[in-house]
Amino acid sequence: MATPLLSVTDLQVGFATERGLLRAVDGVSFDLAEGQTLGIVGESGSGKSVTAKTLMNLLPSYARVEGSVMFDGRDVRAMAAERERHFWGVEMTMVFQDPMTSLNPVKKVGEQIAESLRVHLKRSRREARDDAGDLLQQVGVPESKKRLTQYPHELSGGLRQRVVIAMALACSPRLLIADEPTTALDVTVQKHILDLLDELREERGMAMILITHDLGVVKGRADQIMVMYAGRTMEQADTATLFSEMRHPYTEALLETIPRVDMASHSRLVPIPGSPPDAVDLGQGCPFAERCRYCSASCLIDQPSLEQHRQGHACACHAPVGTDAGAAAHAANHETGVTPAGLDMGTFATAVGEKT
Amino acid sequence: MAGSGAIQMRDSDEVVLRVESLVMEFPAGRNQVVHAVSDVSFDVCRGETLGIVGESGCGKSTTARALVQLPRPTSGTVTLDPGTDGQVELTGIEGEALRSVRPRVQMIFQDPISSLNPRRRVRDIIGEGLTIWQDQHPDVDVDARVDEVLRAVGLDPVVAASRRPHEFSGGQCQRISIARALAIDPEILICDEPVSALDVSVQAQVLNILEEMKERFGLTLVFISHDLTVVRNVSDRVVVMYLGKVCEIGNSDSLFSEPAHPYTRVLLASAPEPSTVVDASEAAIGDEVPSPINPPSGCRFRTRCPRVTELCASAEPVMREMGPDHFVACHLPGPA
């Protein structure tokens, strides 16, 4: 790959709390080339949004950030220190989950879109307004001229999210970060918004980071996927490889836990037992060990590092799915009925490939 | 999208809840009326799970609340145990009579945190219904019952009962809501988007608990969700709603394998991993739902429907049978 557009190396983000340092992001690295989409997948609290906010320089000042973020040869963190405000919102922009809270309720939609054009690109009021109308049209808002003079509360959720996307695209960014852009929307609208983002990315050749908790959303849309858990990267691969040869037990568990339309009624789902770990007190082992059915004794004391077992596919696990080590750990846990972390294997009795 | 007609109603002794011609309208000022639910009829058999699915604003939550008379529907009837000696028409009673029937129908809501009183301890939250219920059941031991339902939903009463809701995660709060609903031994549990606010991994835990509770306490469920995959997983019978009307109703297997209403097909094609029985191109419809203040004439889905004809604007389609226990309200039903 040529020089990537965005290159994040060993990113660490911590927050000091009364109980100690909360490691929200712990050693995340990835490269993103122009025109590509990276999907970041994980549960709430896995650090995916904090990663995005770090890139966007939206973290509160007390956050402790380490590691390097390079955007087209420029050091993003240095720019943040120098308050280089014509970078965010111009070259790198973000779309948030809830369109209502990311719009100003007392300002007309047209003015909100025009604002960044006027501030960053120094357009006149009239030019900015005309451009705002064109942008709305591009994101598929019907009667775009009329919408310019409306307030956010007059629009439906889907339209609001389109307005937010139009705002993000106003200055022709090279990287768009979409943080759960469709979670607050209806299914029928969801697909339209995701398709729209994909089309715009293709048309403009931008790079995109798509953050979601649903592997199904990124499946057909991302070029690469990074699965995060407790602030760490669990597995990282290009999309096709991830789905055909997934190696991390967490990725597997995430896929199994989602019901599918083609499943029969009342088929028992395979939950991920327990709850995500306390990010202040992660202990020394693998953060997923307590919920993992491939857990072995070493997982509790030794944190697995992210290793590339082949070009473009990395996984942080001692006993990955589909390997001899994984099969052995699984068989051993089956034998005893409990994992070394004390998890009853009966919880998984109905899991796919689980034989009792 | 008519839902007018009652051909989908079953004539069985097993029916525990019958909803007929339910209408719910709200005043919207300037003499305007929001037609939230218009002429909806369905029934639920004992031990069955009825799923209600549709987009926001289709009237699914309003329907759920109308079942428990919160608030009272504009017109139509809701009947418990129809056709038996114990028949109770909820829409026809009020005051003490209605209150004494309420324990039979309980509800759990979407947001588990806001549906629990933050100032009270879990034991009091769950026990409150029981202490009122005691008037009719003097022999019930409140503390023992609270412990029992807490254990049933997978929480340890020793640890959980004395805590307050903020000490629990969203998934645990939803379990507490389920425990509260189960405490007074209901027959029917209405779940209004019970997993929409939860993480995917926790969603499966809560869905599994609902299935277990259904078996253990002999419950009948009405399960409301906008997520087709979740509805598919829990339901025996499914109602698809759009703008206050029923589009399609049928047993889960035939509705999902042979969706007949264009709207059902759109929903199936829009899922992140679309169903294989529909073509992905069928998801292409406009995303604006018309206002329920001025719903379209004829079929309410016609403004977004790919198959629309002149007939759809002039005549409201009536429920017709597509197969055994599978009904649809469309002039042009069937595969694309």
What's the pLDDT score for residue B53?
A: 94
Cross-chain residue pair A271–B202, CB shorter than 8 Å: yes
- Residue A260, min C-alpha distance to chain B (Å): 5
- Residue B95, min C-alpha distance to chain A (Å): 38
Cross-chain residue pair B199–A192, CB shorter than 8 Å: no
Q: How confident is the model at residue B263 (pLDDT cuts 50, 70, 90)?
A: very high
Contacts of A275 in chain B (CB under 8 A): 169, 171, 202
Contacts of B235 in chain A (CB under 8 A): 265
For residue B192, is it within any domain? yes
Tell which phi-psi region holds residue A217, choosing left (phi > 0), alpha (psi between -120 and 50) or beta. Answer: alpha
The residue of chain A with its CA nearest to that of B215 is A266
Burial class (CB in 10 A: 0-12, 13-18, 19+), B239: buried
A68 forms beta bridges with A9
User: For residues A262 and A174, which has the higher predicted lDDT (pLDDT)?
Assistant: A174
What's the pLDDT score for residue A187?
A: 79
Cross-chain residue pair A261–B230, CB shorter than 8 Å: no
Q: Give the one of B55, B199, B205 whose C-beta lies nearest to A188's C-beta.
A: B55
* B168-206 pLDDT per residue, tens: 888 889 999 999 999 988 999 999 989 888 888 888 888
Which A residues in the span 219-238 are in contact with B, Cβ-Cβ below 8 Å?
Answer: 219
Q: Give the one of B171, B203, B288 whose C-beta lies nearest to A156's C-beta.
A: B288
Amino acid found at A25: V
Residue B224 has pLDDT above 80, yes or no: yes
The residue of chain A with its CA nearest to that of B273 is A216
The residue of chain A with its CA nearest to that of B57 is A186
Contacts of B269 in chain A (CB under 8 A): 191
Q: Cα-flanking dihedrals φ and ψ of residue B108, to 5°? A: -125, 150
Q: Say whether residue A192 is in contact with chain B using an 8 A CB cutoff.
A: yes
B88-89 β-sheet, strand order: B33-45, B15-27, B75-80, B88-89
List the one residue out of B201, B256, B205 whose CA is nearest residue B231.
B256
* B138-162 pLDDT per residue, tens: 788 889 999 999 998 888 899 889 9
What's the pLDDT score for residue A353?
A: 41
Cross-chain residue pair A219–B169, CB shorter than 8 Å: no
For residue B170, is it within any domain? no
What's the pLDDT score for residue B5?
A: 66
What's the pLDDT score for residue B287?
A: 65
List the one residue out of A46, A96, A87, A45 whose CA is nearest residue A69.
A87
* 3-state helix/strand/coil string of B27-38: ECCCCCEEEEEE
Cross-chain residue pair B272–A213, CB shorter than 8 Å: no
Q: Say whether residue B272 is in contact with chain A using an 8 A CB cutoff.
A: yes
Count Cα neighbours of A50 within 13 Å in the Cβ-side half-sphere: 27
Cross-chain residue pair A214–B272, CB shorter than 8 Å: yes
Q: Say whether residue A43 is in contact with chain B using an 8 A CB cutoff.
A: yes
* A334-354 pLDDT per residue, tens: 888 888 888 888 777 554 444
Cross-chain residue pair A191–B203, CB shorter than 8 Å: no
CATH class of A1-91+172-244: alpha beta
Contacts of B47 in chain A (CB under 8 A): none
Distance in angstroms (rounded) separating the CA atoms of residues B71 and B49: 23
Q: Say whether residue B320 is in contact with chain A using an 8 A CB cutoff.
A: no
Distance in angstroms (rounded) separating the CA atoms of residues B267 and B265: 5
Burial class (CB in 10 A: 0-12, 13-18, 19+), B166: exposed
Which B residues in the span 207-226 are in contact with A, Cβ-Cβ below 8 Å?
Answer: 207-208, 211, 226
Q: Would you say B280 and B269 are in contact if contact means Cβ atoms under 8 Å apart?
A: yes
Contacts of A351 in chain B (CB under 8 A): none
- CA–CA–CA angle B256, B260, B263 (5° rounding): 90
Q: Say whether residue B174 is in contact with chain A using an 8 A CB cutoff.
A: no
Task: Tell me if residue B65 falls in helix, strand or coil.
Answer: helix
Can you tell me the mean pLDDT for B246-254? 93
Cross-chain residue pair A191–B230, CB shorter than 8 Å: no
Q: Say whether residue A301 is in contact with chain B using an 8 A CB cutoff.
A: no
Burial class (CB in 10 A: 0-12, 13-18, 19+), B21: middle
Task: Tell me if residue B203 falls in helix, strand or coil.
Answer: helix
CA dihedral B160, B162, B164, B170 (to 10 degrees): 10
Cross-chain residue pair B232–A253, CB shorter than 8 Å: no
What's the pLDDT score for residue A1?
A: 52
List the one residue out of B257, B259, B244, B237 whose CA is nearest residue B330.
B259
Cross-chain residue pair A259–B230, CB shorter than 8 Å: yes
Which stretches of chain A are assigned E, i.e. beta strand? 6-17, 20-32, 37-41, 64-71, 74-75, 92-95, 175-179, 207-212, 224-229, 232-238, 307-310, 313-315
Amino acid found at B93: I
Structural tokens at position B334: 């069937």
Residue A109 has pLDDT above 70, yes or no: yes
* B2-51 pLDDT per residue, tens: 456 677 788 778 899 999 999 999 998 888 999 999 999 999 999 999 99
The percentage of chain B sitting over the pLDDT mark of 90, rounded to a whole number, equals 48
Distance in angstroms (rounded) separating the CA atoms of residues A55 and B19: 53
Q: B100 is in which domain, residue-wise?
A: 15-111+188-197+217-328
* A162-220 pLDDT per residue, tens: 899 999 999 999 999 999 888 877 877 888 888 889 999 999 999 999 999 888 888 88
Q: Would you say A102 and A96 are in contact if contact means Cβ atoms under 8 Å apart?
A: yes
The residue of chain B with its CA nearest to that of A259 is B229
Amino acid found at B169: S
The residue of chain A with its CA nearest to that of B234 is A266
Residue A20 has pLDDT above 50, yes or no: yes
Q: Say whether residue B233 is in contact with chain A using an 8 A CB cutoff.
A: yes
Q: Where in chain A is the domain with CATH 3.40.50.300?
A: 1-91+172-244
Residue B288 has pLDDT above 80, yes or no: no
Distance in angstroms (rounded) separating the CA atoms of residues A116 and A110: 11
CA B192 to chain centre: 6
Q: What is the CATH number of the domain that holds B59?
A: 3.40.50.300
The percentage of chain A sitting over the pLDDT mark of 70, rounded to a whole number, equals 97
Q: Would you say B246 and B237 are in contact if contact means Cβ atoms under 8 Å apart?
A: no
Suggest the residue from A160, A215, A265 to mutate for an interface test with chain B (most B CBs closer than 10 A).
A265
Which A residues in the span 117-146 are in contact with B, Cβ-Cβ below 8 Å?
Answer: 142
Q: Would you say B283 and B270 are in contact if contact means Cβ atoms under 8 Å apart?
A: yes
- Residue B280, min C-alpha distance to chain A (Å): 11
Contacts of A269 in chain B (CB under 8 A): 204, 207-208, 233
Q: Say whether residue B271 is in contact with chain A using an 8 A CB cutoff.
A: yes
Q: Between A and B, how many CB-CB pairs are < 8 A?
A: 114
Q: How confident is the model at residue A71 (pLDDT cuts 50, 70, 90)?
A: very high
Can you tell me the mean pLDDT for B295-313? 90
Q: Would you say A254 and A269 are in contact if contact means Cβ atoms under 8 Å apart?
A: no
* B98-119 pLDDT per residue, tens: 988 888 999 998 888 888 999 9
Which B residues in the span 36-95 are in contact with A, Cβ-Cβ below 8 Å?
Answer: 55-56
Can you tell me the mean pLDDT for B239-261? 93
Which B residues in the span 85-124 are in contact with A, Cβ-Cβ below 8 Å?
Answer: none
What does the mean pLDDT of chain A come to? 88
Q: In what helix (H) or strand (E) does residue A199 lie, and over which residues does it extend?
A: helix A187-204
Cross-chain residue pair A271–B271, CB shorter than 8 Å: no
Distance in angstroms (rounded) separating the CA atoms of residues B11 and B45: 10
A69 forms beta bridges with A8
